[in-house]
Amino acid sequence: MPSQGYVRVERKGPKIRVETDQLWAEICPTGEYVSGVRTLYDKRTGARDLGFGLDIVDFLLESDPLVDPAAPEEHRYPVGDEIHGNLYKSYVELPQICTRAQQLDWEIIEGSGYVAVRQGWQFTQATNGYVPGSRWEQTLVFVPGKRYFFASDRVVSANHVGDLFLRLDLPGHLQHRQGDTFEQIYLSTQGCISADQFQHNFPPDARFLYRRGVEPLPERLIRAYQIRTPDGSNPWLGALCLHPRIVSEAWCHQRGYVCFITELGRLPVNRGDMFSSAYIIGFFDSVTEMEEINDEFAGYSSLVATSQFWALTEGVGVLDEEGNLQVVPQGLGADKMTEGPWQGAAQHLDWRLMNVQEYGMDTVEKVAGENSLWLRTGGVAMVEWDTEGDTKDMGYHSSLSFALKCDRPVDWLTTQVALGDHLGNECRYNFSLAPTVEWQEVTIPLDQPVSRYGTFTLSRTSIVRFEFAAPSEYRLWLDNLRLLAPEEGRGFRTQVMS
């Protein structure tokens, strides 16, 4: 990245002010409203953001709407009103960071040609039997010559959760009176939307709602508004989410102001597991410019910074005790990389083996773990992992992977896996096995089913079922059942900037 102009930082009371030759930003890690960038000003046009801040952080949630009936009212996620709509979720950890944390951990990092600000906080309340203690961390990087900054949010979970996600205001909020401050809104999942669409309040699920696994995965995920300025320059204030697959849900609705909500993750995690997202936020002359800059950095989902370097990475970037950069997959902890012949990391399914049905003459014997199976049978066998009524969002992952080994060469009649829900909706995938006794690794792209029944979507998966058929008895080992992110199998890209 070319070094031009200047970047400098100073602390003024409870505020941090970063200035470059193109913009200035105010960050407030202490006060009544914290996280993100509180104010962003564009020197070229004189425009500034129209909300309460950019990349503003709320709380941790899951999609399971079940709530302890004895839980206090503030631990119950509201539903059925204009602010929340009919989107059923549950809080996992609270309180809302932006309005309730008041004091964040923070650090200013100055390097050669850049300034970074790191903010963090540990959740202090938990609901529904969870424990508090998950940590959120945000990194903001400012460089000379750019009308935008780089940002990233990361969560380290303190709990085992089936589908944990973080809610953000991204880019933020848009204050207006009958559309007087902006020309239009751009959502890459919808296109341009005129200001007159936001004259009256409407709930999040009424319009402009994106849901991963329900709507097609977008090539880009850009959310922006065009600011109305006196000189007619009318720049765009936009947030470019560089890895759209990590966004599980996003909406843009009117609630006295326009609220841009983005939910990140919705991944199965254990204690110590992590997920992150990275963005570019700032001022742009056109939608085309936003698309071009997005494409230059597309695919990165994490940001780390030290005084020696800053870097964008795929997966989740972490620094070890010596300051070295390590990258792990989304949804795993730094100490949980898979070992053995499938080194390369994966998110294991934590589902329980519920039943084995056998349609041949012999008795099925099985020994099952969370992601492995030993099976002795003949004829046709069906093996099913079931979430016992819960659902899992598999929309982030691009493929299902596992390894198989048979005790003798078999001429297979059927080898198939199905993903489905408890209503009978499912997608089926065929895979091939060679007649060998060696371990075989199988990877199945989730976007290429051979058949689809009903209205099944990957975001509502509750069953994984294997079907095997052979003309003779066999013993079968299935191991390392896992979900793969798009970057796995080829390594993680990293772009070191300084």
Q: Convert the pLDDT of each residue in 283-340 to its tens digit.
A: 999 999 999 999 999 999 999 999 999 999 998 999 888 888 988 878 766 554 333 2
How many Cβ atoms sit within 10 Å of the Cβ of residue 368?
16
Q: Whole-model pTM?
A: 0.81
The answer to whether 176 and 195 are in contact (CB under 8 A) is: yes
pLDDT of residue 255: 97
Strands 210-211 and 247-254: antiparallel
pLDDT of 495 > 60? The answer is yes
- Residue 342: which pLDDT band, with cuts at 50, 70 and 90? very low
pLDDT of residue 392: 67
- Residue 63: which pLDDT band, with cuts at 50, 70 and 90? confident
Structure tokens at 497: 């900037």
Residue 260: name the closest of 310, 212, 204, 311 by CA: 204
Look up tokens 């013993």; give the residue: 475
**For 2-28, how does the pLDDT look when each residue is reduced to its tens digit (9 = 90+)?**
446 999 999 988 999 999 999 999 999
Domains of the chain, with CATH numbers?
A: 7-336 (2.70.98), 347-484 (2.60.120.430)
pLDDT of 254 > 70? The answer is yes
- DSSP helix, strand, coil percent of the chain (3-state; round to 5): 5, 50, 45
**What is the C-alpha to C-alpha distance for residues 155 and 303, in angstroms, rounded to an integer?**
13
What is the per-residue DSSP string for 397-462? --EEEEEEEESS----SEEEEEEE-TTS-EEEEE----S-SS-EEEEEETT--SEEETT--GGGB-
**What is the C-alpha to C-alpha distance for residues 310 and 74, in angstroms, rounded to an integer?**
39
The answer to whether 309 and 113 are in contact (CB under 8 A) is: no
**For 23-56, how does the pLDDT look when each residue is reduced to its tens digit (9 = 90+)?**
999 999 999 999 999 999 999 999 999 999 999 9
**What is the C-alpha to C-alpha distance for residues 149 and 37, in angstroms, rounded to an integer?**
10
Least confident stretch, 284-288, 314-318, 376-380, 420-424: 376-380
Higher pLDDT, 59 or 401: 59
How many Cβ atoms sit within 10 Å of the Cβ of residue 302?
30
Q: Residue 323 burial (CB < 10 Å; 0-12/13-18/19+)?
A: exposed
Amino acid at 440: Q
State the DSSP H helix or E strand holding residue 294, giving kind and residue range, or none if neither: helix 287-296
pLDDT of 360 > 80? The answer is no
Residue 480: name the closest of 370, 358, 381 by CA: 370
pLDDT of residue 378: 63
The answer to whether 446 and 397 are in contact (CB under 8 A) is: yes
pLDDT of residue 399: 84
The answer to whether 395 and 407 are in contact (CB under 8 A) is: no
**For 473-485, how does the pLDDT look when each residue is reduced to its tens digit (9 = 90+)?**
777 777 777 777 6
- Residue 488: which pLDDT band, with cuts at 50, 70 and 90? low
State the DSSP H helix or E strand holding residue 331, giving kind and residue range, or none if neither: none
